[in-house]
Amino acid sequence: MTYAASFYLAAPEIILSVAALILLLVSAWMPKASRAVTIAAVAALFGAMAWTASLLFDPAFAMGGEAFGGLYSADGFAGFAKIVIYLATIACLVVTPRFFDARGAYRPEYPVLMLFAAVGMGIMVSAVDLVTLYVGLELSSLASYVLAAFLRNDGRSNEAGLKYFILGALASGIILYGMSLVYGFSGTTSYSGIRVAFADGFSTGALFGVVFVLAGLAFKIAAVPFHMWTPDVYEGAPTPVTAFFASAPKVAAVVMLSRIALDAFGAQTDAWRQIVIFAALASIVVGALGAIGQQNLKRLLAYSSINNVGFILIGLAAATPEGASAVLVYLAIYAAMTIGSFAALLMLRDNSGEQIETFAGISGLSTTKPALAWCLLILMFSLAGIPPLFGFFGKFVVFQAAVEADLIALAAIGIAASVIGAFYYLKFVKVMFFDESLSTEPDGEAVIADSPSGHWVVLGLSALLMSPLGYLAIPWLVSVADRAASALFTVI
Amino acid sequence: MIQTIAFYLFAVLVIASAVMVIMSRNPVHSVLWLILAFFNAAGLMVLVGAEFIAMLLVIVYVGAVAVLFLFVVMMLDIDFAELRAGFIKNFPLGIAIALILLAELVLGIGAYRAGAIALGTPDGMAAPIVGVSNTEALGALLYSDYIFLFEATGLVLLVAMIGAIVLTHRKSAGDHRGQQDIAKQNRRNPNEATVMKRPTVGEGVEL
């Protein structure tokens, strides 16, 4: 393969890197041009997305697209994930500026770091080599650590950044240790080579390596038992950054985990399936039970994301093309729901500019801000998986894939546990619609201020997709996801 | 023969100094032991013919990383009594982790004995390039096969740098200590900048 062909396939990353470097220079000389840099970053992301889409629908590349001698793959699986990641990053950039402007802390480095994180996530989902995986993971993680601590005068933001950095470095160390074991026993770092080397089963040492790699990646996707950092980091990080953490990096990490599990370790499905099943069930249960006592809405959404990761892992445990397709569909729906919820959370601010982050602040929201309350109602019902809404479809395809793979017990327990999770989503709705409004207080503290149109666009689009209207997108979404997932399985 | 002796010398010293890194009470001593471990690891690298990596270990790890560690550790305000209290509290956990790692080592050695690992078997890609020095071979690989990863690693370092600057660089209003104002420097008048003094013998200078 010539370099030109490789660069053609890796063009989304190249576009974003070049844009980020140019914008970095702009931000060095024009520190006041935050808005313009943000708009340029969004444009670059749209450009990268258009290129990815053209690759995704180009029959010549959708099934393979190996570049740089088997280090990087621009197949359909990566393409689908990249489009979701870029869209999520764009949505996060749209809702960001006002939050930081209100604190006088918005700087043009923020969109630049987001672009670098997007480059890293693109490399992560395209990685077909352990070294590529690690480089992409570190690129996106390092940018994330800085973003978490971006409000540097805020103690909680600093704490979140430090916590995320130390625990993330620990997880990276675990992944590296596992990768070194896998490399030592297989003699290669490429996924296809590892697959061939372990065609007859894992030796004990190699199994240790696989477990370490999976444990480190479970940390990155915040699956139980490696979830402890999630509520703290999500609560402490600035809300737009939390919206980003809960959407794009999670999509990237799950897709990366799926690829390494189904491709590199795909010949030995039984060896890792029980680990994934345990993590899935534990995540669903802990995510559901942990959220019940929470008063802080950001912590609640953190537990909600742990819970959702559990459902995604059920699709991975199926280890079939249907399962991989279900993972992609669920991820796309999950990203839209999460970003919508956080956009709504960002719109909850009182007249003095303080964010409202507790249940007490949103009581009676349906009388003060009916449109916002109804959008949140759709999103919460959708997260709970209540049938007429689109979130139900995500859970449906995941459970269907599990049942078809003869994991009926897993699916049954998952469905039962999802009922527990419905409790706190319903509590959200109950507080908004049936509790006394606090906005009549004389000091006017709980009055919700108006929001700029960008927030409404993100929230409206996400609520529209989650409403029953979203079902119109199913044939298209499922066919693209099926094609993307089959790209992963034709490698065999 | 001499190679075997050298190998065992370096290997024993690496392990011994690695143990001392975690055993010594004083963090400064720990860093010094770490430097010794790096030196001996470099010796091992020379023995296997990877002289470039050996030089990297000495120059980058000993010269830059470890010295930086040393500076940071010296700046820390460490209460040794508190360190020891934490040691006793976390002792059971530490023992548990140590046992797990020991079990792994035993398993790993067992797997090696059973023939599951063949150490040092190069595949076709890793075959040594004949007639080319280590440095040239590494460079040729980095800039051809691994160009993508090489550039991406550059981005990782750039992001680390941006992060450090974004999180620590502060500029308060009217304070230009952080930036050089060349125009202001050029505008300076020598008459304002320097004062001529004529000190007389036996008296000091009053400024």
Question: What is the tens place of the pLDDT at every residue in A283-295?
Answer: 999 988 888 888 8
CA distance A446 to A21: 42
Contact check, Cβ <8 Å, B152/A136: yes
CA A83 → CA A38, A248, A393, A455, B191, distances in Å?
A: 19, 10, 20, 21, 65
Contacts of B108 in chain A (CB under 8 A): 205, 208
A208 touches chain B (CB under 8 A): yes
A203 touches chain B (CB under 8 A): yes
CA distance A16 to A89: 12
Nearest to A146 among B125, B149, B167 (CB): B167
Q: Give the residue extent of every domain in chain B.
A: 1-78, 79-116, 132-167
Query: What pLDDT was estimated at residue B132?
Result: 76
Contacts of B104 in chain A (CB under 8 A): 208
Summarised one tens digit per residue, pLDDT across range A423-471 is: 888 888 888 888 877 655 544 445 566 778 888 888 888 888 888 888 8
Instruction: Spell out the residues 6+ positions from residue B129 whose beta carbon is closer than 8 angstroms to its own.
Output: B137, B140
Query: Tokens 């931000």 sit at which residue?
Result: A27
Contact check, Cβ <8 Å, B116/A113: no
Nearest to B123 among A119, A185, A188 (CB): A188
Residue type, B162: I
Contact check, Cβ <8 Å, B149/A67: no
Give A63's pLDDT tier (boundaries 50, 70, 90): low
Contact check, Cβ <8 Å, B166/A150: yes
Residue A391 has pLDDT above 70, yes or no: yes
Summarised one tens digit per residue, pLDDT across range A152-193 is: 888 899 999 999 999 999 999 999 999 999 998 888 899 988
How wide is the angle at C-alpha A3 spanned by C-alphas A125 and A71, nearest 5°? 30
Higher pLDDT, B9 or A146: A146
Token representation of residue A200 = 């007859």
Q: Following DSSP, what letter does each residue of A357-382 receive, concatenated?
A: -BHHHHTTHHHH-HHHHHHHHHHHHH
Higher pLDDT, A56 or A94: A94
CA distance A135 to A210: 19
Nearest residue in chain A measured CA to CA from B147: A68
Q: How far is the alpha carbon of B108 from chain A, nearest alpha carbon, in Å?
A: 6
Q: How far is the alpha carbon of A194 from chain B, nearest alpha carbon, in Å?
A: 13
SS3 A331: helix
SS3 B197: coil
Give the pLDDT of chain B (207 residues) as one tens digit per residue: 777 788 888 888 899 889 888 888 778 888 888 888 888 888 888 888 788 888 888 899 888 888 888 888 888 776 666 666 666 777 787 788 778 777 776 766 666 666 544 544 444 445 555 677 888 888 888 888 899 999 999 999 999 999 999 988 876 655 555 667 788 888 888 877 787 788 888 877 776
Asked whether the beta carbons of A351 and A447 are under 8 A apart, the reply is yes
CA distance B104 to A39: 52
Q: How far is the alpha carbon of B2 from chain A, nearest alpha carbon, in Å?
A: 28
Nearest residue in chain B measured CA to CA from A137: B156
> pTM for the whole thing?
0.85
Second CATH level (architecture) for the domain B1-78: Up-down Bundle (1.20)
Query: What pLDDT was estimated at residue A438?
Result: 62
Contact check, Cβ <8 Å, A123/B162: no
CA distance A31 to B42: 45
Q: How far is the alpha carbon of B78 from chain A, nearest alpha carbon, in Å?
A: 20
Contacts of A161 in chain B (CB under 8 A): 167
Nearest to A184 among B117, B125, B159 (CB): B117
Under 8 Å CB pairs connecting chains A and B tally to 90
Instruction: Spell out the residues 6+ positions from residue A364 whose beta carbon is closer than 8 angstroms to its own.
Output: A432, A435, A436, A437, A438, A439
Query: What pLDDT was estimated at residue B80?
Result: 64
Instruction: Spell out the residues 6+ positions from residue B63 whose beta carbon is closer than 8 angstroms to its own.
Output: none
Q: How far is the alpha carbon of A184 from chain B, nearest alpha carbon, in Å?
A: 8
Summarised one tens digit per residue, pLDDT across range A217-253 is: 999 999 988 888 999 999 999 999 999 999 999 999 9
B19 touches chain A (CB under 8 A): no
B162 touches chain A (CB under 8 A): yes
Query: What pLDDT was estimated at residue B122?
Result: 43
